[in-house]
Amino acid sequence: MALKLSIIGNGQRSMGDATLDDIRDCLEQKTGVVWIDASGPSFEEIDAIGDLFHFHALSLEDAHLRHQRPKVDQYEGYLFIVFYVMAEVDGEIRTEEVDFFVGEHYVVTMHQRPLAALGEVQQRWMRNAAANGSGTSGSAHSAGILLYSILDAIVDAYFPLVDRIGEEIERLEESIFTSDDPDAQRKIFSMKRNLLSMRRVLGPERDVMNVLVRRDTPIFEMTTVIYMQDVYDHILRVNDALDIYREIVTSALDAHLSMTSNRLNVVMKRMTAASVILMTVTIVASIYGMNFVHMPELDWRFGYPLALGVMLAAAGVLIAVFKKIDYL
């Protein structure tokens, strides 16, 4: 397990690998804000951190289990929050669960793989602390603001994903109407799957942020709630964009099926016209292919040219008729 420990306030600023003893020392000092980021912890390590902070057994059980629904649970002295980082890998949206334990002076995050978004937040958090002075304390360096910074970085990373999906939808719509893309249907269903994956995460996350922006959350100050409102607004924007894109993709699928049906109808019309023309010509040829002795045209000098002329004339008339009714 890789533990990253950050301490902000009262002259202390540090970041790097940490042990459970380091965390215990920081908690005993009760100074500043402690952020513990655990990447790929085992069940035993999760339980060890839980014993250190006296986390409730139910919240530790949720941390053991993966693929939890985004939620926020309130326990005595801290909040347990499940949130998701999303990224595009090989054209598919992949999600990574992040579990938060948020107390008055600490934030504990747990996840299975290293996350670039958390590393960026940690670097920015340390730079802001250095810029504002080592002795800065209060709401500017509270656990609530730290939680806001992490959630804001996670949600902001959703926007590039949504923008890329929007660009792909535009290209797909153009290809549907300008060219016969045989792979269009697979692309449409891939987009619908990606949108559904994001919507399945963002819907509950909106409910989580709705809880965090309430005025009755005892851990956060009023100034922190205002920041949480900003993250809530961003999630609403992403949700609205996803709803619009889902409707567009559904319309694109209907348009693709309609275009495919229209192309099939055109092909069937042309094949029908060609079949009627060939059938008419074949009737004349089949009549003169019968081996009867008493057929007057068999001994006539101009019988063969006449038969060919009748076939050509019939074919010409039918071609003109089918072109007029737009079958050719």
The pTM of the full predicted model, rounded to 2 decimals, is 0.76
Instruction: Map residue 7 onto helix, strand or coil.
Output: strand
Task: Give the rounded percent of residues in the chain with a pLDDT score beyond 70.
Answer: 86
pLDDT at 7 over 80: no
- Based on the number of CB atoms within 10 Å of its own CB, is 318 exposed (0-12), middle (13-18) or buried (19 or more)? buried
Least confident of 75-79, 88-92, 132-136, 274-278: 132-136
Higher pLDDT among residues 102 and 175, named by residue: 102
Q: In whole angstroms, give the CA distance from residue 281 to residue 274.
A: 11
pLDDT tens, residue by residue, 101-132:
998 888 999 998 888 888 788 777 766 655 55
pLDDT tens, residue by residue, 151-163:
999 999 999 999 9
Question: Closest Cα to residue 278, out of 324, 240, 322?
Answer: 322
Q: What is the pLDDT of residue 215?
A: 62
pLDDT at 182 over 80: no
Find out whether 84 and 208 touch, Cβ atoms under 8 Å: no
Q: Output the average pLDDT for the chain.
A: 82
Say how many C-beta atoms besides its own lie within 10 A of residue 262's C-beta.
Answer: 10
Higher pLDDT among residues 13 and 206, named by residue: 206
pLDDT tens, residue by residue, 230-272:
999 999 999 999 999 988 888 888 887 887 788 788 888 888 8
Q: What is the pLDDT of residue 10?
A: 44
pLDDT band at 34 (very low <50, low <70, confident <90, very high): confident
pLDDT tens, residue by residue, 51-66:
989 999 999 999 998 8
Q: What is the pLDDT of residue 169?
A: 86
Find out whether 208 and 258 touch, Cβ atoms under 8 Å: no
Q: In whole angstroms, give the CA distance from residue 212 to residue 181.
A: 46
